[in-house]
Amino acid sequence: MKTSTVIGFLAMLSSQALALELEGTYTVASAGTELYLEDASGQIIFEEGDPQAWFFIEAETDRYAIVNGVTNQYIHCGSTEGAICEASDVAQLFQIDNISDNVYTFLEPESQLLLHRTTDNQLDLSLPTPTNDESFELTQVSS
């Protein structure tokens, strides 16, 4: 009984720690690159240059809406493989997993697909690939 209570408490703390880590605004880069997530007139793309800030709204435990700090639009992708993500007034929730230091993956829970940077620097939903294109580096801009 005590063991299950301790495990439950640790699970609660780890989920709270993730929420605390995602307070404030962040730049989002495709891991290992200088390509930053941008809302370019409703299209969600990756490009070099002056990165836009993004913030995360926790709607369910470990599930967040991703919001552009400039346009206040949400990332929305639907739930099918290859679906190109767009800026939208409609929030879509993603499970965010910290895989190392400040590198994260974003899972669409209904389809079990990951956010993914395409070869033409768009954002879509994909099964895991042998590349690093489903990993994103978050750098805090403000708290």
pLDDT tens for 54-79 read: 999 999 888 999 999 999 999 999 99
Burial (Cβ within 10 Å: 0-12, 13-18, ≥19) of residue 138: buried
Question: Using an 8 Å Cβ cutoff, are 57 and 64 in contact?
Answer: yes
pLDDT in tens, 81-97: 999 999 999 999 999 99
The backbone torsions φ and ψ at residue 21, rounded to the nearest 5 degrees and listed phi first, read: -65, -25
Average pLDDT, the chain: 88
Average pLDDT over residues 25-43: 96
Nearest 5°: phi and psi at 19?
-60, -40
Q: Measured in whole angstroms, how far is the alpha carbon of residue 122 from the centre of its chain?
A: 14
> Does the structure show a pLDDT above 60 at 3?
no
Number of structural domains (the chain) is 1
Asked whether the predicted pLDDT for residue 41 surpasses 60, the reply is: yes
The CA-atom distances, in angstroms, between 7 and each of 2, 10, 38, 94 are 9, 5, 39, 24
CATH at residue 51: 2.80.10.50
Residue 21: predicted pLDDT:
65
pLDDT number for residue 16? 40
**pLDDT-derived band at 22, boundaries 50, 70, 90:** confident
pLDDT above 70 for 13: no
Please give the structure tokens belonging to residue 122. 């768009």
CA distance 97 to 128: 14
For the stretch 97-125, pLDDT in tens is: 999 999 999 999 999 999 999 999 999 99
Q: Domain of 128?
A: 2-142
